[in-house]
Amino acid sequence: MKKTLHWALSGALLASVAGMASAAEPIQPIAAAKPGNPAMVELGKKLFFDPRLSKSGFISCNSCHNLSMGGSDNLKTSIGDHWQQGPINSPTVLNSRLNLAQFWDGRAKDLKEQAGGPIANPKEMAFSHALAVDVLRSIPQYVNEFKKVYGEPAIDIGKVTTAIAAFEDTLVTPDSRFDQWLKGNKKALSAQELRGYQTFKNSGCVACHNGPNVGGNSFQKMGQVEPYKTSNPAEGRVAVTGKDADRFTFKVPTLRNVELTYPYFHDGEAATLAQAVDVMGRLQLGKKFTEQEIGDVVSFLKTLTGKQPDFKLPILPPSTDSTPRPRPFD
């Protein structure tokens, strides 16, 4: 009896120490999604994939936040209605629920607010909220789904963006090899990957890239030590706050799945992770990483790729005779 108690206590102590060790790391594992309202998530998934929320009938949320490609479009800046060149690199939608705000300048407080933006942006989906709602109201299968989810068949843009955000809330990517390591599987990382993580911590990268999303939880100036040179006119958070101190301040991007979300930075000018690590070292930390250090950090960063979205391609309800038709070439 005494021995059993002794072992039980030891086990508890060990678990506690392991827990402390993990808690002391600047990065925490990502939790799996727990969808509260599966019917709303299913509706939001359809809306996320539905190009009829754009004027052209060609661009959906998934066009620029492609869930087959890390929730991004892998372009420097996105393509909008009439092939307009977008002003900024499309951030991944994966794990975006963990960000302190949405868009590079944080102008949307949450995913619901974000979801309304591109639909009505003349350079992106080029539609209006009223027209998008008109389309959905004309499709009986959508009306039925909204009724099932919200208890009434009336559709408004708030219900649309709430459902899209509920779907996006589920787009988390747990179980990366790094998270397995954080949770105690010490074989999950190679020696080089661990060395990269040490360099990442010791060099100060974790000052901004920390927390479960390895970023996304603060605004920081792009070019802390040395100015960042770019032809991209985006000025960052100053556009939201009006404060001169926020000029060239952007939301720190998540590094989760960063292997999939190339190219990098708000202007998409860093084509490879090696370039991005080199520039970050010099401009943010005043540190010139050696080639070996860059290789190590890149190998660590690739361990942050988690479980990708795992669902069936949604089948969209057809338009009806009364559905307003897309106008791609007007």
Q: What is the DSSP letter of 263?
A: S
Q: Phi first, then psi: what are they for 318, rounded to 5°? A: -70, 150
3-state secondary structure of 169: helix
Q: Is 82 in the site for a second copy (CB under 8 A)?
A: yes
CA–CA separation, 48 and 60 (whole Å): 6
Out of 42, 113, 124, 293, the active site residue is 124
From the list 186, 242, 318, 330, which residue makes contact with a second copy (rule: CB under 8 A)? 318
Least distance in Å: CB of 213 to a second copy?
19
Q: Which of 22, 28, 33, 75 is in the footprint of a second copy by CB under 8 A?
A: 75
For residue 149, which of 37, 315, 308 has the smallest C-alpha distance? 37
Helix (H, G, I), strand (E, B) or coil at 85: strand
Torsion of CA 20, 24, 30, 35, to 10 degrees: 60
User: Shortest distance, CB of residue 219 to a second copy, whole angstroms?
Assistant: 28
Distance CA 105, CA 241 (A): 9
Residues numbered 105 to 164 that lie near a second copy (CB under 8 A) are: none
Binding map of a second copy across residues 275-294, x = CB under 8 A, - = no contact:
--------------------
Asked whether position 79 contacts a second copy by CB under 8 A, the answer is yes
190 belongs to the binding site for a second copy (CB under 8 A):
no
Helix H or strand E segment including 80: strand 79-80
Q: Active-site residue 113, yes or no?
A: no
Interacting residues toward a second copy by CB under 8 A: 49-52, 56-58, 63, 66-70, 73-75, 79, 82-83, 85, 259-260, 262-263, 271-274, 308-316, 318-319, 321, 325-326, 328-329
Residues tagged active-site: 124
